[in-house]
Structure 1
Amino acid sequence: MNKLKRRIRRLKKQLKQKMNKEKRPANNRRKYNDDKSRERSKQKKKRPQPQTKSRMEPKKEAVNTKIRQSDPAEIVTPPIKKRKKRKITKEEIEKRRKKKRKENIIEIIKFMLPVVLVAVLVFFFILNTSPHMVDGDSMKPTLMDKDRVIVRRTKIPERYEIITFKPPVKSEFQYVKRVIGMPGDLVWTEGNDLFINHQAETLPKESEMSAASELPDGTIKVNISDESLEQMSQLNKIPTGHYFVLGDNRNNSSDSRAFGLVDGKAIEGVVSFRFAPFSTIGWIK
């Protein structure tokens, strides 16, 4: 019986302790836990460190002090050896110059090729032109033998322009001459002399035809062949669509003085540009 009473008392005490714990506020529990954690941290801090770490620390400090005390002036850098420049010979200099010249020529060609191609397309397709080579000396000094020119086929000729045409005589080649007489110009003849005037409105009197000092202003006098005389003596004006042409080198030229007027249908075009030789490239006037 005594044993049972003791056990019952113990159980009652345990129940009371549990009830008291449950009644404690949450703050007291937190304080209790914080106190335990602090005690544990203090115990950890108070743990003695091993002797090996304490021995190694002063050595590290000594090394650091040595590094701090060292100056940059004390650090010796090895001297840099300069390479000796090799002397260039004259042959090497000439080779380099030749290479530069070739490179410059190649660059110029690369730049000029598209320009030339565009010019060719413009002249031959857009402007409806064709190239020609001058054969003979009839147009000296304006055009020389072997000059290469470009003819504009669509342009109507004007006075004093150079034209290419198929002559009214048997010839395998086209002629190159300068336009002197235009349609509507007054013309008259005296003997084998032909007079052309583009300023006068009426023909001069018969008494004034032979007197050179009394001729109207702008009159051109040329000596013509018998074949040309037959054609020109029947006219008072150059008819529409016809032209009177002369070569610049009058002493060595077969032109309208020999074969008469040129039909406009036989004219190919107007000489506008010379592209060879290189020294005389330019527009033709």
Structure 2
Amino acid sequence: MRVALCQIEVGDDPGENLKRMLDALAEAAEADLAVFPEAAQVRFGNDLAAVAEPLDGPFVGALSEAAREHGTAVVAGVFEPAPDGRVYNTVVGIDASGELVGSYRKIHMFDAFGDHESEDVAPGDRPVVVELAGTRIGLITCYDVRFPELARALVDLGAQLLVVPAAWGQGVFKEEHWTTLVRARAIENTTWVVAVDKAPDTTRPPRGAPGGVGRSQLIDPMGTVLADLGPFPSVRVAEIDPETAARVRAVLPALEHRRPDLFQR
């Protein structure tokens, strides 16, 4: 499978952000799957409720049309309205025919390092695996990657690939955490990980601190980083060999060696 890591800039205008996404998708047209950051619709610090749309709204509709035009499946972060006036931080999975085949609402709220995501965002309540480009894909959003039990649950649900869209916070040691955590999720689950962060903010958002550290990565089931996009906007198409996981698990059958009988509550 050919996957495109679309490390785009995300600003305050949803129309401009959509154009960046469509341009990146055109650039990645030879890919089977294109992965975009969390909150690609608009960056954090804006009035998210004013921007949020139902998943059958025009923003996701435009992505679906582009996916169909290019024959490329899409994973991307958007905002949808929540019943309590907040929004859901949602990742959509759109197949190459343009059909929305699934969506995941971020479970873990980033109420850390001085941020308070839960003030604006309502949490989801279930892990989600979608099938795109003939592959079962487990969805993990940004801060979720700090919780290994979610990645393990997705693998137990049959995920062959973990995809991590992010808008990772800038700050001391943050980049180190990002690169360590996404690699750890690959190693401990002996699975492929596609981790796509947005390109770093170069201006301060209307509210809060700048986000994005870049460093989007493709990591194989042994933990080898096969692509690292660095700090600048970039689109990179790379190959995923589905047989690699089987070869790694043949010599490192850690998933078979688990003892859930000792750790279940």
Q: Same fold (TM over 0.5)?
A: no
Q: TM-score, normalised by structure 2?
A: 0.21
TM-score (norm 1): 0.20
Q: Whose RCO is larger (CA < 8 A, sep 6+)?
A: 2
Higher strand share: 2
| Bigger radius of gyration among the two | 1
